[in-house]
Amino acid sequence: MSPKTKQVVRQTAAGKQLNLQERTAAASRKEKASGASAYIDYKNVDPRIETALYYGFTPLPSQLIITKEDRAKADELGNEAKPESAALAPTLEEKIALFRHYADKNLFERAQPVMYCTEFSSGNALKKKAGERRLSYEIMGSGKSVGEATLIQVAFATLKEEAHDELSLSLNSVGDRESTSRFTRELGNFYRKHVALLPATCKTLLRKNPLALLSCEHEKCKALAEEAPKSIGFLGDESRRHFKEVLEFLEELEIPYRIDHHLLGNRVLSSETLFEIRETLKDGTSRVLCSGGRYNNLGKRLGLKRDVPSVGMNLLLTRAEKEAAAPRTIRFKKPSVFFLQLGFCAKLKSLSVIEILRQAHIPLYQALNRDKLISQLSSAENLRIPYSLILGQREALENSVIVRNTVSRAQETVPLCKLTEYFKKMKLG
């Protein structure tokens, strides 16, 4: 953190200040005296989404219903049938239902992004076995690369909580509209040069949607697909930077990944990053447990005044029926910590810090989609959260954070390796 920034952060209140422990005790007494609840009650939700709560997701109390009108709109926009292998992938009708909810609840008026965890009823839902749930996690109103990283981190943390260990992550990028147009045009040119090698049915497919040829199981098509142009080769500067940042987040989180050029999503829905998490089973086969990606260009097509940059994923929770808890009310501790970051180097480390707090059972608010420290500090003070956790560039390099008392503005630097112990002494965990 720069000296100038530290000067802002180090402003202290005049007069005698209570230490951090005393402030915590005073706040607790005040809360008890007023009868205010120290918990947030989330009703009728799967208890297995608790991991996502630490990363800022809010569960919707009921399923989002996909209507006939939603399906009709999807068909109007050019909905595509999904192959069986992509059964978990988000559908166009799901996103239409989500945007309808976004507009009906006037979520434009809220601070962006809004982060939801929900379940869809109807639509192209995956056939579920006993104990399985197919949940959707959405970040709406932000185009920042930290969105993809947050979803992937939540997916891995949730799946590991369910004892899924043999996990692998695949990613690709189709870029923005211009990137996709360039790629589709060059892909069509490539297949037209080799049209003589295509089966009759695939020649028809070439005229309708050349992208579909990349997933064709015919041996000749599979061979051509290996030689075909790759979408990441046609990314514009901004799309290339965005995808690079996503990969940097994953490397900071030490999440292994591979680039899968055949991961292209829905041509009507998908933009920028696409990703998929598979589990390798004991018999050597694999199954998809998570599928997601960006959909930045859907808002205006659905009649909204502007596009709403968004990213989401579907996650399959597969715990056995006897172990799967039924939906119930979760009592989640109100956050006592507001996590702030300054600079991209700090943002890269942010998700690791949040994971430390999650494992210590310390709920928090975060502002990962904001860059200016002053606006983040203002939010912390407006929400009356007793402590701010500040991660600047220097702290990121030194593996430390600044813990700041929001009321007194007293602060101290704490090594990350001692952060859990520090908050336990404060009795915040």
Q: Any idea what the CATH number is for the domain that residue 115 is in?
A: 3.30.930.10
- How does strand 258-259 pair with strand 364-366? unpaired
Judge whether 410 lies within some domain.
Answer: yes
Distance CA 343, CA 5 (A): 11
| Chain segment 322-340, per-residue pLDDT in tens | 455 677 788 888 888 999 9
Judge whether 184 lies within some domain.
Answer: yes
**DSSP string for 68-134:** HHHHHHHHHHT--PPPGGGTTS--HHHHHHHHHHHHHTTGGGSSSPEEEEE-EESSSPPPPPTT-EE
Judge whether 248 lies within some domain.
Answer: no
Q: Are residues 172 and 61 in the same domain?
A: yes
Among 189, 204, 235, the domain-final residue is 235
pLDDT value, residue 81? 64
Give the number of C-alpha atoms closer than 13 A to the C-alpha of residue 219, restricted to the C-beta side: 0
Q: Are residues 276 and 341 in the same domain?
A: no
Q: Are residues 399 and 290 in the same domain?
A: no
Which of 14-18, 38-42, 321-325, 352-356: highest mean pLDDT?
352-356
Q: Are residues 21 and 110 in the same domain?
A: no
Is residue 429 scored above 70 in pLDDT?
A: no
Distance CA 105, CA 21 (A): 40
Distance CA 329, CA 356 (A): 25
Both tokens assigned to 199: 């089966």
Residue in this structure with the two tokens 């404060």, named with its chain if needed:
426
pLDDT band at 304 (very low <50, low <70, confident <90, very high): confident
pLDDT band at 320 (very low <50, low <70, confident <90, very high): low
Q: Are residues 83 and 221 in the same domain?
A: no
Judge whether 246 lies within some domain.
Answer: no
What is the model's pTM?
0.87
Distance CA 391, CA 400 (A): 7
- How does strand 58-59 pair with strand 310-317? unpaired
Compute the Cα dihedral for 127, 133, 139, 143 and give only its sign: negative
Q: Are residues 142 and 191 in the same domain?
A: no
Q: Write out the residue range of the structural domain in which residue 77 sits.
A: 44-176+253-317
Q: Are residues 283 and 159 in the same domain?
A: yes
Is residue 132 scored above 60 in pLDDT?
A: yes
Q: Are residues 79 and 171 in the same domain?
A: yes
Q: Are residues 203 and 340 in the same domain?
A: no
More confident residue, 411 or 380: 411
pLDDT value, residue 217? 80
Distance CA 153, CA 90 (A): 18
More confident residue, 69 or 284: 69
Judge whether 245 lies within some domain.
Answer: no
| Chain segment 204-251, per-residue pLDDT in tens | 878 878 888 888 888 888 888 889 999 999 999 999 999 999 999 999
Q: Which of 38-47, 71-80, 83-92, 252-261 has the lowest mean pLDDT?
A: 83-92
Q: Are residues 226 and 265 in the same domain?
A: no
Distance CA 157, CA 138 (A): 16
Identity of residue 327: P
Judge whether 240 lies within some domain.
Answer: no
pLDDT value, residue 116? 92
Judge whether 153 lies within some domain.
Answer: yes
Name residues whose C-beta falls within 8 Å of residue 244's C-beta, 6 or more positions apart in sequence. none
pLDDT band at 368 (very low <50, low <70, confident <90, very high): confident
pLDDT band at 176 (very low <50, low <70, confident <90, very high): very high
| Chain segment 134-175, per-residue pLDDT in tens | 899 999 999 999 999 999 999 999 999 888 889 999 999 999
Among residues 54, 138, 114, the alpha carbon closest in space to that of 350 is found at: 54
Judge whether 141 lies within some domain.
Answer: yes
Domain count of the fold of the chain = 3
Give the number of C-alpha atoms closer than 13 A to the C-alpha of residue 388, restricted to the C-beta side: 30
**β partners of residue 137:** 117, 313
For 397, left (φ over 0), alpha (ψ -120 to 50), or beta? alpha
| Chain segment 31-76, per-residue pLDDT in tens | 444 445 688 888 878 888 889 999 999 998 788 889 999 999 998 9
Among 266, 291, 317, the domain-final residue is 317
Q: Are residues 266 and 398 in the same domain?
A: no
Q: Are residues 158 and 9 in the same domain?
A: no
Cis status of the peptide bond prior to 415, with omega within 30 of 0: no
Please give the DSSP secondary-structure letter assigned to residue 270.
-
Cis status of the peptide bond prior to 113, with omega within 30 of 0: yes
